[in-house]
Structure 1
């Protein structure tokens, strides 16, 4: 599977399909709300067609922004997301916390049926090791606020594992280096997996390519499932 976050596309560009031609099945959740055209947007590419696809959370305030896609396969669910940003002054934090509560419920419901892999730009540096403090008060910055970190802790506590941290206990790796024009290296992108899949994780890494094609580095997960 290949999942991309915040493509800002209304449809998948032909050149992108061509570049990922070994993943012949694809779909896109695009922004549909008024004034949101060209924002967010999350496509999924797959080597095989999923059994089922769900687009969005089912909650209106989130689903005009193209932020979530869920694919069902024979032995697992994949959920890919581009989480909302809490805003420069955390003005969107209440909405962001509602998003987190919605996602937590949805993933927990899926996890009852089959194991879940959840990934994407989750817009939070969960632990101190996940952010490099460059002299800014990061506890009042989006992605670094105590409430956002607490929500990630709650999600993990509901039955999920941070796959990168499970293999790299003490390694600092960053997927984003810029925030609102400031240089704050942070790990904002994740693959989480149902706890019962932990022993099946063989590799989970940040592919730091210097952000040549994006303001985020790719991440990868290899798991037996």
Structure 2
């Protein structure tokens, strides 16, 4: 809560909550609304959004049964944009879930394209892909590892080419050694042997309203750290 209060964000988007309905009674300041999406499987996946701004609508999932049992997506609609928190499936050990992941990538892109035809989109979360070689410490030894396969990287390139912007790279196209996830093994965080797999992505139509993007590597408490987007967007019109 110290970090929550210090950041004082309009929106907090959380992934991998690992909770079921009734397992948490989170006391937030009275001016925050809470939205949760739970996986069917206990102790697995899950997402949440906490916001000061009541949306026009809130929806769970992407409308495809194959993908909507793991609590991976919440969408809030506002007058001029949609906000989405997304926990992208991991391809898993030995890439056992790569096919599922690629099917997800296509379905999720179809989903955000449908929304962006109506109004601008902001989505964020653990997208489980390091897009470029500068987005992880050891690209050579991880070339075919989950999160850095050619298939996953190409899918993310295709997404960005569909009129979306990786906001951190928009501001810092060549900055290196900035990561958002570190394995708990091998003292990875102490050595900054990490991956940048957490993103804020926006429609290109919002580019002029972007102010800054940050990676809060100074904040501990998880194997991930928070990432932040600041933008000048009217919430009520």
Q: Is TM-score (shorter-chain normalized) higher than 0.5?
A: yes
Q: Please report the TM-score for the alignment, with normalisation by the length of structure 2.
A: 0.87
Structure 1 residue 22 displacement after superposition: 6.0
- Contact in 2 for aligned 1:85/1:123 (Cα 8 Å): yes
Q: Which residue of 1 aligns with 2:156?
A: 152
Indicate yes or no: 2:19 matched with 1:9: yes
Corresponding residue SS for 2:101? helix
Q: What CA deviation, in whole Å up to 9, does each residue of 1:199-222 have, x standing for no partner?
A: 111011101125x21110000001
**Which has the larger displacement, 159-168 or 45-54?**
45-54
- Contact in 2 for aligned 1:51/1:72 (Cα 8 Å): yes
The equivalent position to 2:92 in structure 1, one of 66, 83, 87, is 87
- Contact in 2 for aligned 1:89/1:140 (Cα 8 Å): no
Q: Aligned residue pairs: how many?
A: 216
CA distance in 2, matches of 1:198, 1:75: 14
Corresponding residue SS for 1:116? strand
The equivalent position to 2:125 in structure 1, one of 120, 124, 127, is 120
Written as runs of structure 1 = structure 2, the 5 A alignment for 1:20-31 is: 21=29, 23-31=31-39
Indicate yes or no: 2:194 matched with 1:185: yes
Q: Which residue of 2 aligns with 1:141?
A: 145
CA distance in 2, matches of 1:23, 1:157: 37
Q: What CA deviation, in whole Å up to 9, does each residue of 1:156-211 have, x standing for no partner?
A: 011100000000011121000117x464411000000000111111011101125x
CA distance in 2, matches of 1:43, 1:27: 5
- Contact in 2 for aligned 1:7/1:41 (Cα 8 Å): yes
Q: Mark the runs of 5 or more structure 2 residues left unpaired by the alignment.
A: 1-10
CA distance in 2, matches of 1:175, 1:23: 28
Q: Which residue of 1 aligns with 2:115?
A: 110
- Contact in 2 for aligned 1:108/1:159 (Cα 8 Å): no
Q: Mark the runs of 5 or more structure 1 residues left unpaired by the alignment.
A: none
Structure 1 residue 60 displacement after superposition: 1.6
Q: Please report the TM-score for the alignment, with normalisation by the length of structure 1.
A: 0.91
Q: Which residue of 1 aligns with 2:68?
A: 63
* Runs of 4+ with >6 A deviation: none
Q: CA separation of 1:13/1:140 partners in 2, compared to 1, >3 Å: closer, same or farther? A: same
CA distance in 2, matches of 1:2, 1:23: 13
Q: What CA deviation, in whole Å up to 9, does each residue of 1:34-83 have, x standing for no partner?
A: xx112111011111211011101112222111100111011110111000
Aligned-residue Cα RMSD (Å) equals: 1.6
**Which has the larger displacement, 108-117 or 55-64?**
55-64
CA distance in 2, matches of 1:111, 1:58: 16
CA distance in 1, matches of 2:67, 2:143: 25
